[in-house]
Amino acid sequence: MAPPLVLLQDIHLRFGATPLLDGAELSVAPGERLCLVGRNGSGKSTLLKVAAGLLEPDDGTRFFQPGATVRYLPQEPDFTGFATTLAYVEAGLGPGDDHYRAQYLLEQLGLTGQEDPAHLSGGEARRAALARVIAPEPDVLMLDEPTNHLDLPAIEWLESELKSLRSALVLISHDRRFLENLSRATVWLDRGTTRRLDQGFGAFEAWRDQVLEQEETERHKLDRKIVAELDWLRYGVTARRKRNVRRLGDLHAMRKDRREVRRAQGNVKITVTEAETSGKLVIEARAIAKAFDGVSVVRDFSTRIARGDRIGIVGPNGAGKTTLLKMLIGTLKPDSGSVKLGSNLEIASLDQKRAALRPETTLRDALTGGGSDTVMVGGQPKHVMGYLKDFLFTPEQANSPLSVLSGGERGRLMLARALALPSNLLVLDEPTNDLDLETLDLLQEMVADYPGTVILVSHDRDFLDRTVTSVIAAEGDGVFSEYAGGYSDMVNQRGHGVEAKAKAKAEGKASPAAAPAAGKPKETKRRLSFAEKHALETLPKTLDKLRVDAAVLEKKIADPNLYAKDPAAFEKASTALGKIHADIEAAEEEWLRLEILKEELGG
């Protein structure tokens, strides 16, 4: 095996009294593809900075292979002193590097190279920083959250570009699909120390659970041994004094080890406050459109969203996703068309910019509104300290201003605020930003189990696949289409994923309703979506099966001896029959609605 290009051994680093890194290690061989994973606040970014030579540890050794080139992507790039993005990228090149590659990468990432770094958006800054570290094709490329602020086309382009590099990679990311597609080994930073798995991220979570389960087993064994020794100390027969003194010393050592064990950080406890059940129809949009300064952002879009639907909205940055979302929930009026909201709607929303948080507000006041120690959760008062603990905040942080929170902590706080509100329609705009993998797991479970309706905007492909039942995709020039299933299902139906705006236009894929060269934009006739066509084809078969199942249960219940012989079986059959009858009624209503819609649209 080739010697490592970068080697960290027994790295220790403290911030205050608590050790952040406590014997952490990292080895990066030529061409290796590592992902570095761990909780928010576990020290991943700190360890990466130590590996890049940007931060000195308190103790431990760091080795760089002489002559090896290392490039590090920070979460917050510094553009000070650069007049253009091209100048910024070229400053990262070495003497023998190709300067044309800097311009090529900027263009691939949607930049011209002439942008003023002082006026870049978060996404543009991230693209320029990526071009700077990738352009030299270094021996080791260290990337800290490279997909932050990127849209789906940019993320998928970045994956392809990184796969083509010969550089060794060390990745920190909350994007599961990104890690699964690129990593070949996993380093887990947990409670200051590192463990290595020589498999990609796809195998990590099962391995992590085994490790934690084994730790818990060992802890229980130590607890039982301490109890046994205490019993001996109190009631045992006195033997030789030296032996007893040694045994007593062993007991003290065990108790000291037990006290010093650093347990794994607890899980976020995500609960959602349910409101009164909404009507069956949640949102109905008919031919809605919106334009800004003469440019169509949403064009002639129609949909019906029923109670229990989980809708994902995807598209490149600037495609109008948030505009469409705001029109659907009634916070932005369309220029034409209509939006009808169902009855009893209670909306809770998570804003992608975290705009509702004032920097000077404390965590306590952000949750309670100020002047109180309680938060209403599920209609019941809960002490704010307990609710903060559910989202992994310490009591010491309760009176800290929000300005000191990390991105992940701000994301958790916004979730805590949104989920405390009674709701039956949950609106999430980029909910996965800055969340760690464990919190993402729980958010996915919460969305899947949420009794109401969910509409979310996201660039996270794995999150979409795990949570949504249909996807509304931006096709270009303000046209949106709806597809059944998650993101992968949408790709299979379209034949491609989300494309950058310029590419879609260049290839003529922007829209069948794109505006002509001159004159009034051509209107697009509403057509049945893929999901609606599929339902029309499958509902008759579904109804036939339900009626057969109902007939079987009716025959079973008709047996006069069933209740006497087995009351539980009779009750079970009766309950199942009632559910089947309700399913038949719902399926018949849906089939009738789609048939009427089909007739209205001219077949």
pLDDT per position as a tens digit, 84-96: 999 999 999 988 8
Is 206 marked as binding a ligand?
Answer: no
Is 545 marked as binding a ligand?
Answer: no
Q: DSSP states of 300-329 as a string?
A: EEEEEEETT-EEEEE--TTSSHHHHHHHHT
Is 322 marked as binding a ligand?
Answer: yes
* CATH 3.40.50.300 for the 281-346+422-506 domain, yes or no: yes
Mean pLDDT comparison of 291-295, 414-418, 584-588, highest-scoring range: 291-295
pTM: 0.68
Residue 586 has pLDDT above 60, yes or no: yes
Residue 362's pLDDT band (cuts 50, 70, 90): confident
Is-contact 262 233, C-beta < 8 A?
Answer: no
Q: What is the predicted pLDDT for the residue at 148?
A: 85
Nearest CA to 526 out of 306, 326, 337 is that of: 337
Is 44 marked as binding a ligand?
Answer: yes
Is 319 marked as binding a ligand?
Answer: yes
pLDDT per position as a tens digit, 36-77: 998 877 889 999 999 999 999 999 999 999 999 999 998 888
Is 38 marked as binding a ligand?
Answer: yes
Distance CA 243, CA 490 (A): 72
Q: What is the predicted pLDDT for the residue at 528?
A: 66
pLDDT per position as a tens digit, 546-560: 888 888 888 888 887
**Measured at the alpha carbon of residue 167, what is the angle toward residues 163 and 172, in degrees to the nearest 5?**
75
Task: Tell me whether domains 6-206 and 281-346+422-506 share a fold.
Answer: yes
Residue matched to tokens 């006026």: 119
Consecutive H or E run containing 168:
strand 168-172
Pick the more confident residue, 227 or 82: 82
Is 45 marked as binding a ligand?
Answer: yes
Q: What is the predicted pLDDT for the residue at 26?
A: 95
Pick the more confident residue, 535 or 156: 156
Distance CA 115, CA 118 (A): 9
pLDDT per position as a tens digit, 447-464: 877 888 999 999 999 999
Is 408 marked as binding a ligand?
Answer: no
Fold for 6-206, please state it. Answer: Rossmann fold (3.40.50)
Mean pLDDT of 402-426: 77
- Beta strands of 182-330 (E only): which ranges? 185-190, 193-197, 281-292, 295-306, 310-314
Pick the more confident residue, 231 or 214: 214
Is 41 marked as binding a ligand?
Answer: yes
Pick the more confident residue, 572 or 158: 158
Contacts of 209 by beta carbon, 8 Å cutoff, 6+ apart: none
Is-contact 450 307, C-beta < 8 A?
Answer: no
Distance of CA 230 to the CA centre of its chain: 47
Distance CA 347, CA 366 (A): 19
Is 320 marked as binding a ligand?
Answer: yes
Relative orientation angle of helices 241-260 and 204-235, to the nearest 10 degrees: 150
Q: What is the predicted pLDDT for the residue at 252?
A: 62
Q: What is the predicted pLDDT for the residue at 273?
A: 54
Is 318 marked as binding a ligand?
Answer: yes
Neighbours of 509 (CB within 10 A): 16
Q: Report the percent of the chain where pLDDT is more than 90.
A: 37
Nearest CA to 194 out of 46, 52, 71, 55 is that of: 46
Q: What is the predicted pLDDT for the residue at 520?
A: 39
Distance CA 452, CA 278 (A): 8
Residue 334's pLDDT band (cuts 50, 70, 90): very high
Pick the more confident residue, 234 or 301: 301
Distance CA 217, CA 497 (A): 45
Is-contact 434 411, C-beta < 8 A?
Answer: yes
pLDDT per position as a tens digit, 161-174: 999 999 999 999 98
Distance CA 398, CA 373 (A): 11
pLDDT per position as a tens digit, 496-534: 778 765 444 444 444 333 333 333 333 444 566 666 777
196 by DSSP, 3-state: which? strand
Q: Report the percent of the chain where pLDDT is more than 70.
A: 81
Is 43 marked as binding a ligand?
Answer: yes
Domain edges within the chain = 6-206, 215-260, 281-346+422-506, 530-600
Contacts of 48 by beta carbon, 8 Å cutoff, 6+ apart: 36, 72, 142, 144, 170, 172
* CATH 1.10.287 for the 530-600 domain, yes or no: yes
Q: What is the predicted pLDDT for the residue at 474?
A: 92
Residue 336 has pLDDT above 80, yes or no: yes
Q: What is the predicted pLDDT for the residue at 521?
A: 39
Is 121 marked as binding a ligand?
Answer: no
